[in-house]
């Protein structure tokens, strides 16, 4: 199952629906999304005083997105050369772990 991220436009629609007093199911139906998606968006991103803020929620979602990290071998040129040499010498990757 592929999970599509909510777009900023969808977050604005959620904000508008929430301020209009719509329920989770009505907002979800309007967006063509599952009610659980809307519920999972509203719960952590709403406050009692300000309600749901689309801009704040979008910034928070962008910060929490996973970002690719540099592999440990790529950070250290000496280690990378050693691993490449050992692999070229037909070492098994599991055998390199304990060297």
pLDDT digits (tens, 9 = 90+) for 59-85: 999 998 887 888 888 889 998 898 888
Task: Tell me if the pTM is above 0.75.
Answer: no
d(CA 1, CA 91): 37
Domain ranges (residues) in the chain: 8-64, 68-99
At 47 the three-state DSSP class reads: strand
Helix (H, G, I), strand (E, B) or coil at 52: strand
Give the tokens for residue 48: 């009692």
Residue 51 is given by DSSP the state E
User: Are 18 and 47 contacting, i.e. CB atoms less than 8 angstroms apart?
Assistant: no
Q: At a CB cut-off of 8 Å and minimum separation 6, what does 19 contact?
A: 51, 52
């Amino acid at each position: 199952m592929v999970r599509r991220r909510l777009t900023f436009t969808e977050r604005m629609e959620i904000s508008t629906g929430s301020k209009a007093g719509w329920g989770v199911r009505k907002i979800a139906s309007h967006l063509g999304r599952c009610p659980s998606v809307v519920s999972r968006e509203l719960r952590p991103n709403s406050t009692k005083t300000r309600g749901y803020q689309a801009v704040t929620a979008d910034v928070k979602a962008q910060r929490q997105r996973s970002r690719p990290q540099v592999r440990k071998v790529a950070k250290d040129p000496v280690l990378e050369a050693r691993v490449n040499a050992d692999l070229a010498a037909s070492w098994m990757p599991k055998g390199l772990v304990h060297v």
